[in-house]
A and B are shown apart, each in its own frame.
Chain A
Amino acid sequence: DAGITQSPRHKVTETGTPVTLRCHQTENHRYMYWYRQDPGHGLRLIHYSYGVKDTDKGEVSDGYSVSRSKTEDFLLTLESATSSQTSVYFCATKGAGAEEKLFFGSGTQLSVL
């Protein structure tokens, strides 16, 4: 598996507080993604990045922002967490090559109380 590290692995926070999740990769992959996983919804794309400082919205981007100041780091920020953002968050990367497969991190379980 690609070297993708997500931190923290688990977090409990209160409604209205800011939260930042970090994704770090050691593969020098160009593309990085943040997905959330909820029962019955599969994996839904929040934001993605196609290079340093180049990001774009996914299908469920409201309430989230991202930043990518270095190739290896992709941060997901919940400016003011809500209970509907309780979820498992996965970071993924994609490198170059004919197979456009994604490599996933181990996920962050976020609970917003």
Chain B
Amino acid sequence: GQQVMQIPQYQHVQEGEDFTTYCNSSTTLSNIQWYKQRPGGHPVFLIQLVKSGEVKKQKRLTFQFGEAKKNSSLHITATQTTDVGTYFCAGPRGSGSRLTFGEGTQLTVNP
């Protein structure tokens, strides 16, 4: 079945350093979504990418969707302590009403 792989599983950075997490699907995706989960919290939707090669920015966060629509990345420029949490990518499965999540990348930021 469709799998969504995410790397790295953990990332420790110093405040001010950049951070990138990568997401790869075994199949072509109609869209990909990104979520952030703060420690002890619940996942919160960040963004959805739909088009091949799409790039979207939210302040210091840059999201990319690959040309083949099988991979995606989230890049954070100059991390801050408020960026701490686990970042998940997710792709639709089957008819699209279901989402398959990657394993997540847990980001810690040392002040």
Contacts and interface: CB of A to CB of B under 8 A. Distances in A.
25 contacts: A31-B97, A35-B101, A40-B103, A41-B103, A42-B6, A42-B103, A42-B104, A43-B90, A43-B101, A48-B98, A58-B98, A59-B100, A90-B43, A92-B43, A100-B33, A100-B92, A100-B96, A100-B99, A101-B45, A102-B45, A102-B90, A104-B42, A104-B43, A105-B42, A106-B41
A18 to B, nearest CB: 25
A100 B90 CA distance: 11
A40 B48 CA distance: 24
Contacts, number: 57
Interface of B: 1, 6, 9, 31, 33, 35, 41-45, 48, 88, 90, 92, 96-104
Interface of A: 1, 31, 33, 35, 40-45, 48, 50, 58-59, 90, 92, 94, 99-107
